[in-house]
Amino acid sequence: MQLGTGPDGVPIHGRRVAITGLGAVTCCGVGVDALWEGLLHPSVVGGPVRGFDPEQWFGPKEVRQLDRFAQFSMAAADLAVKDAGEIGADPAKSGVIFATGVGGFDTLAEQVGVYNERGARRVSPRLVPMMMANAGAAGISMRLGWHGPAEVIVTACAAGTHAIAAAGRLVASGRCDVVVSGGAEASLHPVAIAAFTNMTALSTSGHSRPFDIRRDGFVSTEGSASVVLEDWDRAVARGATIYAELAGAASTADAHHITAPSPDGAGAVACMELALADAGISPSDVGHINAHGTSTPLNDLAESRAITKVFGEPGPLVTSTKGVTGHGLGAAGAIEAVAAALTIHHSLIPPTAGYEQPDPEITLRVVHGEPLPWEPTAVLSNSFGFGGHNGCLILLPPS
């Protein structure tokens, strides 16, 4: 990853960033293995997290005092840290950068109902610490005892990707030796679902069909995913498993519309090009794209146009996990980053569930039907959110 440019215009490169731990709490189940199995052999489409018991992570009092999104944040981070092994980093140089789209929406909606039905005196004094978007990141830092930066990114559906990018910069710059990053969301409350339904964003068929001509909207989900990012040399020295290298990242804005993407994908094009430049690679080096692919008519068409502009035709192999995981808003980019790392680690690209009937306007090489073995090269992971926020990550096989 680059830290900037010198006075002569030459890029200043930071330390290499290794991904040494993965964690996931998704609709496929608890743990990375459950996510991977769900992607390879699709059997669910979004919805609530399966098999999550908060009492495995928290005491009875904590369960009552933590919104579900914060529970997911801490559980996924715990899994990632455990997966990373004996980190042993200086707490002052260990940080947390996490993401969410809306924070503790369930708690807020519930307490508004309490206020309306039972009056002000019955509103929980825990409302603010439970609903605030930084509750998950704060909880992670307290559980780990890490005193480095503990911050939150809130950029809608691009938030998880932006959080991992920001965390990578902390490691690349030397500010931190280790950072836990990711994203979480738990906003399946009826009010949130009603809002998405009334804006015609959700699938009316209940199916998530990225890039398919029948796509009619996304399927909501909840959950979290987390990665441990670590200084490469440090990771090698302690014998850590390195899933991939976070080699580049970028962020741009469409400056176009609060919900609709720029039709020509200009912001997405710029973001992908900047991420490639940050990683110091060319479009031809990318063998796989984990697309944003929400299954909405506008997003998938705009993203496909952007990918074609950057990579030409036929371009890299493309897949979207949202045919299985649905759309996790602030958690989506983190879930997809974990999936991208697993794609490299297992030398296998999961199929795009729900993709059966190609859209003639979309000329991407969409992996579908069965998992596809491949010789891993660079992977691009895309996230594009409401507000025109664009985020991209470049992952490389460890070497």
Q: Which residues are catalytic?
A: 157, 292, 327
Enumerate residues 6+ apart whose C-beta is below 8 A from 323.
Answer: 42, 45, 208, 209, 210, 293, 295, 352, 353, 354, 355
Determine what percent of the chain falls in helix, strand and coil, rounding each to the nearest 5.
40, 25, 35
Closest CA to 227 of 160, 139, 144: 160
CA distances for 153 relative to 160, 167, 177, 255, 303, angstroms: 8, 10, 20, 19, 23
Tell me the HSE value of 119 on the side-chain side, using a 13 A CA sphere. Answer: 1
Cβ neighbour number for residue 267 with a 10 Å cutoff? 22
Query: DSSP 3-state assignment of 259?
Result: coil
For residue 322, CA distances in Å to 38, 193, 313 come to: 11, 17, 23
The residue ranges of DSSP E strands in the chain, in sequence order, are: 2-5, 11-13, 17-26, 29-30, 94-99, 150-153, 178-185, 223-231, 244-253, 286-290, 317-319, 348-349, 365-366, 372-373, 378-385, 389-396
CA 300 to CA 207: how far, in whole Å? 15
Contact 362, 386 (CB under 8 A): no
Q: What is the 3-state secondary structure (H, E, C) of 195-246?
A: HHHHCCCECCCCCCCCCECCCCCECEECEEEEEEEEEHHHHHHCCCCCCEEE
Q: For 220, phi and psi rounded to 5 degrees?
A: -70, 150
Three-state secondary-structure class, residue 32: helix
Closest CA to 26 of 322, 236, 253, 362: 322
